[in-house]
Amino acid sequence: MGKKVAVAKGQTRYETVKKALEYIKDEIVKDIYGKNNLIIKPNLVSSYKQLASTHIDTIKAIFDFIKKHYNGKISIAEGSATNTITAFKNFGYIQFAQENRIELFDLNQDNYREIMVYDSGYNKIPVRVSKKILESDYRISSAILKTHDTVIATLSIKNMVVGSILQADKHRIHQGYKAINLNIYKIAKHVWPQLAIIDGFIAMEGDGPVSGTPVEMGTVIASTDPLAADTVGAYIMGFDPNEIGYLHYLKMAGIGEGNLDKIEILGEKLENVRRQFKPHTTYSLQRKWKIEDIDIEKMLY
């Protein structure tokens, strides 16, 4: 078999995250050896709505697991679409960071490097991406299992990509359903997570990533291959992973494992946790992301 993806169920969020990470402990320990600049990147898309934002218990579980195998610097870094510091305060991050002497960092205030993406006419345009994310040697994406208003589902890769873009430039990747999937792919290559954790303990369906409704799954996904994790996540939500544009492009380019039949599942059987999520109301439009009459392979490189 190919890449391993852990799928865990449990009674509490903290317990379930730890359980998922234990399934792939050997891979994490191997990958983290010798690293000294680790970032945990939560999804704090909202400063006020907990359902849309990474719960502090998820971060606590990740931190407690990582500290057993890593002695270097740990930062929690996010560039919220709203106000990062307010989100840190409202969701318990500031207290947790103070108690554990962890750096909290607002990526929207960071220095940056420019990465080229596409506008709606497929002309190249720059977006500013956080240097802290780009220069980290171990990136952990702590995402949430959610539907999305533009790209069907938001999982570990999109969490890392959009959060790493400076706030004033986030809108620049939103160039219609076709270009945005290309743009997530283009940036993902530069900010690829070494560890993906997708919290589906309480997921979101419908009008995500902020205004959807809760889905009590009791499930957490983890992998050292974020494309494999996101492929499994999309499948668990009842979607065809090949229907999600940015996952398709990453699979097409061979960045990570996007073939479900080549992924080794540890823990729960997928059919035991899979359910059909209600998609966003714009789902039928979002599916029209495929680009015709253009040499797509040239645009990917």
72-111 pLDDT tens trace: 999 999 999 999 999 999 999 999 999 999 999 999 999 9
Task: Give the tens place of pLDDT for each residue, 114-133.
Answer: 999 999 999 999 999 999 99
| DSSP code string of the chain | ---EEEEEE-SSHHHHHHHHHHHTHHHHHHHHTT--EEEEEE-B--SS-GGGB--HHHHHHHHHHHHTT--SEEEEEE--SS-HHHHHHHTTHHHHHHHHT-EEEEGGGS-EEEEEEE-TTS-EEEEEEEHHHHH-SEEEEEEEEEE-SSSSEE-HHHHHHHHHB-GGGGGGG-S-HHHHHHHHHHHHTTS--SEEEEEEEEEEESSTTTS-EEEEEEEEEEES-HHHHHHHHHHHTT--GGGSHHHHHHHHHTSS---GGG-EEEES-HHHH---PPPPTTHHHHT-----SS-HHHHH-
**Structural domains of the chain, ranges and CATH numbers in brackets:** 4-288 (3.40.50.11440)
Q: Provide the pLDDT for residue 296.
A: 78
* pTM attached to this predicted model: 0.97
Q: Provide the pLDDT for residue 160.
A: 98
Q: Provide the pLDDT for residue 292.
A: 83
Q: Provide the pLDDT for residue 295.
A: 78
Reported confidence tier of residue 297, pLDDT bands at 50, 70, 90: confident
Taking 70 as the threshold, does the pLDDT of residue 1 lie above it? no
Task: Give the tens place of pLDDT for each residue, 252-275.
Answer: 999 999 999 999 999 999 999 999
